[in-house]
Amino acid sequence: MAAERPRGLLLDAMGTLIGLRKSVGHTYAEAACRHGLSLEAEALNAAFRTVFAAAPPLAFPSLQGAALRQAEQDWWTARVNATLEAVGVERPPAELGPELFHCFADAGLWQPYPEVPALLQRWHRQGLKLAVVSNFDSRLEPLLEQLGLRNWLHAVVVSSAVGAAKPEPAPLLLALEQLALPGSAVWHVGDSHDDAAAAAAAGLRCVRVQRP
């Protein structure tokens, strides 16, 4: 039996709608070079994957405004420092973490996957309510705006502001509230196990995206 057509979609961001034009390691290596450090991009990529997998959730209950933004920057600075230390940098430059935090706010580093703009426009035209739900931070909504995707979305929910990250269901439940739809009428689309687990906990059907 075919599944009933949804009335809304909750969409993951990184790895689902948008991706980096070049790897994290390449951007880290370029920034490190400006501080007199010569590092290999592939070594940085491997170190970042390990550091990121072990990181605490990017989520800050009860914070907002400038305090939230500072907590986001501090979280990412800690990941930058741990990545550099993992490839042998004993004392990462203090300026490098904040510099990279602002660097990744530049839409020039990101791109929508080729089919995404047309799909969002089509779904919006068909009357589907769309929300992005991401384990990311306050940089995401301006990025989606600059990439030309924000106009098709009813809401953007990020874990840092919600105070909980997928696989916890809270970000998805908040998005359902903002769309004013029940979970039975909404599917979640994402590329990770955390997306599938969060959708199951929130009572949503999950459609998994698998990109190369």
The answer to the question of residue 1 being in a domain is no
- Residue range 45-90, pLDDT digits in tens: 999 999 999 999 999 999 999 999 999 999 999 999 999 999 999 9
**Final residue of a structural domain among 48, 83, 108:** 108
Within a domain: 3: no
Q: Answer yes or no: are the C-beta atoms of 87 and 157 closer than 8 Å.
A: no
Domain that holds residue 53: 22-108
Q: What's the rounded Cα separation, in Å, for the pair 134 and 175?
A: 11
Q: Is the dihedral of CA 2, 5, 10, 13 positive or negative?
A: positive
Of 108, 127, 161, at which residue does a domain stop?
Answer: 108
CATH number reported for the structural domain that contains residue 193 in this entry: 3.40.50.1000
Query: For 85-134, what is each residue's pLDDT tens digit?
Result: 999 999 999 999 999 999 999 999 999 999 999 999 999 999 999 999 99
- 1: pLDDT confidence band, cut at 50, 70 and 90? very low
Same domain, 13 and 117: yes
User: Considering the entire predicted model, what is its pTM?
Assistant: 0.94
CB-based contact 45:24 (threshold 8 Å): yes
Structural domains of the chain, count: 2
Sign of CA pseudo-dihedral 175, 187, 17, 42: positive
Query: Do 100 and 126 have their domain in common?
Result: no
